[in-house]
Structure 1
């Protein structure tokens, strides 16, 4: 499928798809006329890229793990295990911090009208 249709189906803008391509993350096939040609499985791949980026991984790191993100059975890329473990730990600490903030806000709302003290 061409880039416009792929953008619609994946929910990712044409501009971002081209950016992923320039970063070496997304490598679509080309038609004899030079048009980008995407496959159905590229949709799941590019969605994984978006999730990893939102999780805090830099695009340069995602580009390095590009071959690890396809759906073919394979051994996990061991060189990236540490990077992923660090990112997972960071997300865990963010969740803990957000939970503490949530509890504080809830207690402030529950104490509305009373004098609040630390």
Structure 2
């Protein structure tokens, strides 16, 4: 199939398909005239690339493990370093989750602080500020 048809069937832009080819994620055959000719295996590979990308893996990591992931199911042919690569990715995601949780706690504290009634004395400071501003403008 031609690149436009593969793009339509996978929901991946033509430009991205060419990029995937540059990165070695797919390897279409070439016609005599030089046009790319994609097989159903290329379409399946693109679907796996997207699945792994949604799992948070980078294209570099996907390129390393794609030969091990031969179906859309969660099974694979053991490859060298696969366990280490996946463990590293899980650790990276755990760190990101921890960062997000810390950020959430900070935002919740700000939100709680913003919803408290004004502290005593704050209205006095506000009135003093208004008097000072008025004295500056009244000359």
Same-fold call, TM cutoff 0.5: yes
Task: Please name the residue that 1:57 is paired with.
Answer: 58
State the shift of 1:17 in Å.
0.7
Task: Please name the residue that 2:93 is paired with.
Answer: 91
CA contact (8 A) 1:57 1:87 kept: no
Change (3 A) 1:13 1:37: same
Moved over 4 A (4+): none
Task: Please name the residue that 2:48 is paired with.
Answer: 48
State the shift of 1:32 in Å.
4.7
What are the ranges of 5 or more consecutive residues in structure 1 without an aligned counterpart?
none
CA contact (8 A) 2:7 2:14 kept: yes
Task: Please name the residue that 2:34 is paired with.
Answer: 34
State the shift of 1:22 in Å.
1.6
Greater RCO between the two (CA within 8 Å, min separation 6)?
1
Change (3 A) 1:112 1:40: farther
What are the ranges of 5 or more consecutive residues in structure 2 without an aligned counterpart?
119-139
State the shift of 1:58 in Å.
4.5
Give CA deviations for 1:2-25 in whole Å, capped at 9, x if unaligned. 111211221211111111112211
Larger Rg: 2
Q: When the two structures are aligned, how many residues end up with a matched partner?
A: 114
Give CA deviations for 1:37-79 in whole Å, capped at 9, x if unaligned. 33445344223324545624352x4333332122187532242
State the shift of 1:86 in Å.
0.5
RMSD between aligned residues: 2.7
Task: Please name the residue that 2:132 is paired with.
Answer: none
Bigger helix share:
2
